[in-house]
Amino acid sequence: MCGIIGLVSKREVSSTLLEGLKRLEYRGYDSSGIATINNKKIERVRSKGNLSFLEEKLANISLPGKIGIGHTRWATHGSPEEKNAHPHITNKVAVVHNGIIENNNQLRNQLIEAGVKFSSDTDTEVVCHIITSYINSGLNAYDSIRATMNDVKGSYAFGVLILNEPDKLFAVRGGSPLAIGSARNENFIGSDTYSLSAYSDNITYLKDGDVAVIENDSFRVFDYSNSSVKREKQSIIESVSLSEKGIFKHFMSKEIHEQPEVIAKSLSNYIDMDKGVLNIPSLPYDFSTITNVTLVACGSSYYAGLIARDWFEKFTNVKVDVEIASEFRYREPPMVSNGLTIFISQSGETADTLAALKHCKSRGQKTISIVNVGDSSMCRDSDASLKIYAGPEIGVASTKAFTCQLVVLACLAIKIGTSNGSLSKEQEKEYVKSLLSIPRLISNTLDKEDEIIDLAHDLSNITTTLYLGRGQMYPVAMEGALKLKEISYVHAEGYPAGEMKHGPIALLEKDLPIFMIAPSNSLYEKTVSNLYEVIARDASVILLTDNEGLHNIGLIKNKIKTFLVDETDIISAPFVYTLPNQLIAYHIALLKGTDVDQPRNLAKSVTVE
Ligand code: AGP
């Protein structure tokens, strides 16, 4: 993912910005650049490729100035060429950006119609021109930035320089992390703790909707309502290393909160952001000939496969089977010739899944692995491999890897559907647009974590529970139950809501907590009828739904607990409804004092049978 660094100081900044970019290299990038304001002019140096090329240029081109921004770019909109490297500038504004602007094409077309000439293919340059247009209309720097944020839609973080305010650095957070590090006579901005920890012993994380106005000896933060706010200044432990927890108490918490960023990064590897269509790396198959798909995995990865089954069935019209690897490998079922088998695994080393892969290869199946660890056995043993780009997942309980698996599975289902004619180009664009909205939707849910913390307190004595859902929300329910049981040791079961009356309803008793997952979709009414069955037996319901779902539930909403998420569709619902369950499990485990990152009896990768 992209990395942002910025500095406003009493000293020259370019060499420190270059060093700061080196601390961002671990995030992965394909170009970089720095811009400063000096003598009433915005100066910029950029380079394609490794940072060493930028360093070489800076050795020959001085970049004076006591205020500047730097960026390492992971190409999303536009190829990894120097012309697309950040910072993007006009004669009055310089911008660096991390994230996705969903309405980029619409805004770009409006600017072109207004006579703006673009020099890059990026969404970031669009933002640069919009801020400039507001400046030209007479707005001051802060108001121009705020007005621009009202125009753009997506998940983003920006560092901004504005020529007519040469002593102020501006930082904007809208879904992607951005923080301020204060030091003597200077202030930094950075994408993460690690990038700031060499320069500052404290960190102030911005919140979504914040715009910070930063000078060399102070800074002010304004929230989405333009109210001046105080964000908590926390200490940074210098020893923070790449995979350390940073300001988070556990890796699991860090990884839950990384999801807007890593999902955006995963998306950028499978979607052409300019055209709003898929851009899947070439695979050695003619997908138009695929007649049967088998998804094989364990644990959370298996639940990802169950969720994806809806996508494969609806988008490809191909027969889909989803198998638990440890059952599949010993059942050794007959396989349809020329079938495609997909192995889903965060570690790429799960013994049962590897054994299933071996069985499928012996039956002449086409094999694709979807993994997080690139140089894993599953990668090597399958015909082709698709990485999920979740970054290192340290917590044993899978969170960001699970949602990034869903990204790749959704893209693969769309790809097969367009290849065999089951999906039109318009449908592909519609589903891709929905995928691109996911970082923002997940970020919105993360912003409501305080509500989950309150809910967890109410459930702190929970000993057993059920998670109920229909359609894709059934595997979402199973994944939510798995998260709770594996880190808090509470017995939890995910069950099809429609199956309650076939037995589990006997478990219901007064005050037994039951999680019900019900987006306002075609199965909502049916799920609500199950909710009534649950309430009629005095169990206590926690309903995960959206505004429409809450509105339609009627007066019983006063008898249940609810947690609301954004409106969703077949693409975004599994992501958005997984988030509250991850947070609920985490905060209940926190209250129970279990070892959240290394739960008892569990390993991150089960390399034995
Ligand atoms: C998920 O939270 C668990 N840690 C576990 O179910 C895990 O998903 C399963 O062991 C499969 O691991 P893999 O994805 O590395 O194959």
pLDDT in tens, 216-269: 999 999 999 999 999 988 876 544 445 567 678 899 999 999 999 999 999 999
Residue 192 resides in a domain = yes
Q: What is the CATH number of the domain that holds 189?
A: 3.60.20.10
Nearest alpha carbon to residue 99 among 261, 307, 330: 261
Residue 379 resides in a domain = yes
15 & 152 share domain: yes
Q: Which atom of ligand 1 is found nearest the CA of 405?
A: 14
How much is the pTM?
0.78
176 & 216 share domain: yes
> In whole angstroms, what is the distance from residue 185 CA to residue 169 CA?
14
Q: List the beta bridge partners of residue 542.
A: 515, 561
Under a CB-based contact definition with an 8 Å cutoff, are residues 574 and 472 in contact?
yes
Residues of the chain with pLDDT under 50: 238-241
Q: Which atom of ligand 1 is found nearest the CA of 350?
A: 16
Q: Which residues are designated catalytic? A: 2, 604
Which alpha helices (H) appear in 385-540, and where do they start and end? 400-419, 425-436, 438-446, 449-458, 473-488, 524-535
Q: What is the pLDDT of residue 28?
A: 72
Residue 604 resides in a domain = no
408 & 536 share domain: no
Residue 243 resides in a domain = no
Under a CB-based contact definition with an 8 Å cutoff, are residues 2 and 98 in contact?
yes
Residue 603 resides in a domain = no
265 & 404 share domain: yes
351 & 478 share domain: no
Cα 350 to ligand 1 centroid, rounded to whole Å: 8
Distances (CA, A) of 439 to 382, 389, 414: 30, 14, 19
> In whole angstroms, what is the distance from residue 403 CA to residue 423 CA?
23
> In whole angstroms, what is the distance from residue 391 CA to residue 378 CA?
17
Distances (CA, A) of 598 to 24, 183, 256: 28, 36, 16
290 & 207 share domain: no
> In whole angstroms, what is the distance from residue 285 CA to residue 276 CA?
23
Q: Which of 435, 469, 496 is the last residue of a domain?
A: 435
Q: What is the pLDDT of residue 155?
A: 87
Cα 298 to ligand 1 centroid, rounded to whole Å: 6
For a ligand 1 pocket test, name from 606, 607, 608, 609 the mutation site with the most ligand atoms within 8 angstroms of its C-beta: 606
Q: What is the pLDDT of residue 609?
A: 67
Q: Token pair 């080393």 is at which residue?
A: 349
Which alpha helices (H) appear in 23-140, and where do they start and end? 51-60, 104-113, 123-136
Hey, what are 451's tokens?
Answer: 């509500």
455 & 430 share domain: no
Q: Which atom of ligand 1 is found nearest the CA of 602?
A: 4
Q: What is the CATH number of the domain that holds 513?
A: 3.40.50.10490
> Rounded to the nearest 10 degrees, how much is the dihedral formed by the CA atoms of 444, 447, 449, 450?
-130
Residue 599 resides in a domain = no
Cα 426 to ligand 1 centroid, rounded to whole Å: 35
Under a CB-based contact definition with an 8 Å cutoff, are residues 188 and 5 in contact?
yes
b/e code 323-350 from CB counts within 10 Å (16+ = b): bbbbebbeeeeebeeebbbbbbbbbbbb
Cα 301 to ligand 1 centroid, rounded to whole Å: 6
For a ligand 1 pocket test, name from 301, 354, 478 the mutation site with the most ligand atoms within 8 angstroms of its C-beta: 301
203 & 326 share domain: no
Q: Which of 381, 411, 435 is the last residue of a domain?
A: 435
54 & 174 share domain: yes
Cα 368 to ligand 1 centroid, rounded to whole Å: 18
> In whole angstroms, what is the distance from residue 149 CA to residue 95 CA?
13
Nearest alpha carbon to residue 458 among 515, 536, 532: 515
Residue 515 lies in domain: 449-592
Residue 444 resides in a domain = no
Residue 242 resides in a domain = no
221 & 314 share domain: no
3-state secondary structure of 175: strand
What stretch of H or E contains 496? strand 491-496
Q: Which atom of ligand 1 is found nearest the CA of 353?
A: 16
CA nearest ligand 1 atom 10, residue: 299
Q: What is the pLDDT of residue 243?
A: 53
Under a CB-based contact definition with an 8 Å cutoff, are residues 86 and 47 in contact?
no
Q: Token pair 């490998």 is at which residue?
A: 329
Q: Is 348 left (phi over 0), alpha (psi -120 to 50) or beta?
A: left
Under a CB-based contact definition with an 8 Å cutoff, are residues 329 and 357 in contact?
no
Q: How many domains does the chain have?
A: 3
Dihedral angle sign, alpha carbons of residues 200, 206, 270, 349: positive
Under a CB-based contact definition with an 8 Å cutoff, are residues 527 and 470 in contact?
yes
Under a CB-based contact definition with an 8 Å cutoff, are residues 224 and 209 in contact?
yes
Q: Which atom of ligand 1 is found nearest the CA of 396?
A: 4
Q: Which of 235, 263, 280 is the last residue of a domain?
A: 235
490 & 371 share domain: no
Cα 344 to ligand 1 centroid, rounded to whole Å: 10
CA nearest ligand 1 atom 4, residue: 397
405 & 262 share domain: yes
Identify the residues whose C-beta falls under 6 Å from ligand 1. 298-301, 345-347, 350, 353, 396-398, 486, 605-606
